[in-house]
Amino acid sequence: MANQSGTLTSSQGSAIIGTSPNDTITFTPSAGTYTVEYPLGTTAISASTGVQSLAVSGGQLRLTCATGSVAWSVADGNDGTPLSQTELSSVRSLVSGAGISPSRIAYIGDSQSGAGAGANTVTAATYDPSTGVLTCTKAAHGLINATVLKLTCRAAPQWNIYDAACTFVSSSVFTLQLPIGLSGQPTASDIRWTKSGTSNKPSYQGDIRSLTGGRVRSVRNAGVTGETWGQIRARIATEIAPVMVGGGVVVIQGGHNDCLTGPVPVATSIADMQGAVSDLRALGLRVILVNCTPLGGGYATTAARVHLLEQNRAMAALAQPGVVAVIDAAGAAQDPTSLFNSAVGYVSADNLHWSGKLSRAIAVLIANVLNSWFPVTQRLPVSHLDCYDASNNPNSSNRMQNGLCLTTTGGVVNNSITGTAAAQFQVATDQGSGASFTASVQAASWGVGNSQKLAWSSLTFANNLARIYCNSQHARFAPGQKVRLAMRVKTTGLGGGSLINYIAAHFYCTVDGVQLTVAAFNESNLVPAYNDQQDWDGLMESDILYIPAGTALTSLYWQVGAYLNGVCAGSIEIGQVDLIRVA
């Protein structure tokens, strides 16, 4: 690792510093008191006020400044001859337009993790072992030929298939190509499926992408409805190991079904959970465990509650600094006035599954762990270095026109809203007059390019939608391609008091007359109180949207909307927009 240095102040608190073997780190305080953990979780220097040096053998250390400030510098004991300019250019040529490759992350669990294989069911399923074709029956399934699906079969992972295109579609039947020669037949009642990249429930995975600044990239969501710890563990070898070769992080969640299905004996649940963690660690993977949130009405028997608490207690003992973290989802959901129940709005109407609000709270806890495990480096803004322009950059990975709002006029301002919109951008309000709204284009508050802003003055709203969206960008894409949306978003005025306001971001395309949707943040079809109602300031990034091959693509656009209820003044600001063509 090259020589490096920095300064940490007491207001910043702690910092993680990466090292390599034979490094020496020197700490020089300025009227400061500092502590060093190396390895993480082990105090190497305690409450020091003087200059000290520490020889290390590689890995991460944590520097904490209690008062004043402390300067630190790393002397690398392994530096060889510096790279020449030609060599540096060669290295840079290996880095994609989206910046350094992010860390890989996978998810496995039950329906709480199951946005990747969601609530859609089938009424019948048959498998032909001679051809490998799985035929599913589902009335009004809404699919078209070549739509990409994720399908899982509870307790029978040999039928699970990810990112597979429908090979035939009729009004009530669709087929998928599986391996030839599988034995037996799947049970229709155990099958769950969803269109890949088209879930209306982004769950916590989408929030994690945004909260980590794009530094982690999901490679699989292997959540299956109704599974117990034993069933989840049984799928690790087939669902996780093949896609996580080379390392990464697995977020694993389960336990509710152990309490409710059967139930499974407590000792068995705990042994299966411990075994799952051991299996993941044996694969060289870091693990983030998410504990069980409270059981709501209809589920909350005394036996089930005791079962859940025993699981959570055993899970807490599995934490290992730097490699196994335990997320206290139960604490995030807990109603402070109750021993057993979740707070209002933190679970959906079924009193069990996480709402958008709780998903966001859990995502924040997971992102905090990931941000401590991996260097907090700014993801290169694709639109800053790689902005699409047909005349001089036709092969850009970012296909969004005017992604930095540098062309400040030419957009569309609707509904009597006053002000201006940047080229390729539109602003609107869906209920009532836009007279209380103002659109503007200005230097982005985060310092990269310009931004499109929509502000509103204080008045009473009743489920009004203020939104910023783009003109269709479909001419820049083709069927068979994959697309991801990323942008900087900042809001004000959404939180506080008794307001029920929230922001929701969606990504759309229309193929063969059917609209496919990716919900990037929050859900627009839920009771508002179930969504996260805090202001946002940072990166917002979607899952991948698959454009089925062999289809007619007639639109592709994004929208960020603020749903307003009550008396409030506020704003949405959007810029640095990337429509990234994914290889």
Residue 98's pLDDT is 34
Compute CA distances 163 → 110, 220, 382, 544, 557, whole Å. Answer: 19, 10, 26, 11, 22
Share of the chain above pLDDT 70, in %: 80
Domains and CATH numbers, the chain: 4-82 (2.60.120), 119-195 (2.40.30), 212-219+229-373 (3.40.50.1110), 383-582 (2.60.120.260)
DSSP 3-state percent helix, strand, coil across the chain (nearest 5): 20, 40, 40
Range with top average pLDDT, 30-39, 165-174, 415-424, 483-492: 415-424
- pLDDT exceeds 90 at position 335: no
Question: Is residue 14 a contact partner of residue 50, using CB atoms and an 8 Å limit?
Answer: no
**For residue 578, what pLDDT band results from cuts at 50, 70 and 90?**
confident
Average predicted confidence (pLDDT) for the chain: 80
Instruction: Considering only residues 68 and 208, tell me which one the structure prediction assigns the higher pLDDT.
Output: 68
Work out the widest C-alpha separation in the chain, in whole angstroms. Answer: 76
Per-residue model confidence as pLDDT tens digits over 471-494: 999 998 998 888 888 888 998 887
Please write the tens of the pLDDT for every residue from 40-89.
778 889 999 999 999 887 766 788 888 989 998 887 665 445 445 454 44
What's the pLDDT at 465? 82
- Under the banding of pLDDT at 50, 70 and 90, the label for residue 11 is confident
Tokens of 264: 């499974």
More confident residue, 465 or 274: 274
pLDDT tens-digit profile of 344-397?
A: 777 777 777 787 778 878 888 998 898 888 765 544 444 445 566 666 666 777
More confidently predicted of 439 and 38: 439
Q: How confident is residue 135, by pLDDT bands cut at 50, 70 and 90? A: very high
More confident residue, 21 or 478: 478
Please confirm whether the linkage preceding 39 is cis (ω < 30° from 0).
Answer: yes
Q: Which pLDDT score, from 0 to 100, does residue 2 have?
A: 45
Confidence of residue 413 (pLDDT cuts 50, 70, 90): very high
pLDDT digit string (tens) for 287-304?
Answer: 999 999 888 767 778 888
- Answer for the pair 572, 560: CB distance below 8 angstroms, yes or no: yes
Quick check: 125 and 137 in contact, CB under 8 A? yes
Whether this model's pTM surpasses 0.85: no
Task: Report which of residues 396 and 127 the model is more confident about.
Answer: 127
Is the predicted pLDDT of residue 96 greater than 50, yes or no?
A: no
pLDDT of residue 90 exceeding 50, the answer is no
Q: Is the pLDDT of residue 402 over 80?
A: yes
Work out the average pLDDT over 104-130. Answer: 78
On whether the CB atoms of residues 432 and 460 are closer than 8 A, the answer is: no
* Residues linked to residue 109 through DSSP beta bridges, in sequence order: 223
State pLDDT tens for residues 227-278.
899 989 988 988 888 888 888 999 999 999 898 877 899 999 999 999 999 9
Burial-class residue 503 by CB neighbours within 10 Å (0-12, 13-18, 19+). buried
pLDDT score, position 200: 40
d(CA 1, CA 79): 7
CA distance 241 to 221: 13
Which range is least confidently modeled, 130-139, 230-239, 383-392, 537-546?
A: 383-392
Residue 226 CA to residue 398 CA, distance in Å, equals 39
Q: How far is CA 264 from CA 69, 74, 189, 311, in A?
A: 53, 52, 21, 11
Is residue 578 within 8 A of residue 381, CB to CB? The reply is yes
In angstroms, the CA 104 to CA 220 distance is: 9
- Taking 60 as the threshold, does the pLDDT of residue 95 lie above it? no
**99 pLDDT higher than 80:** no
**Is-contact 531 357, C-beta < 8 A?**
yes
Q: In degrees, to the nearest 5, what angle opens at C-alpha 492 toward C-alphas 491 and 494?
A: 95
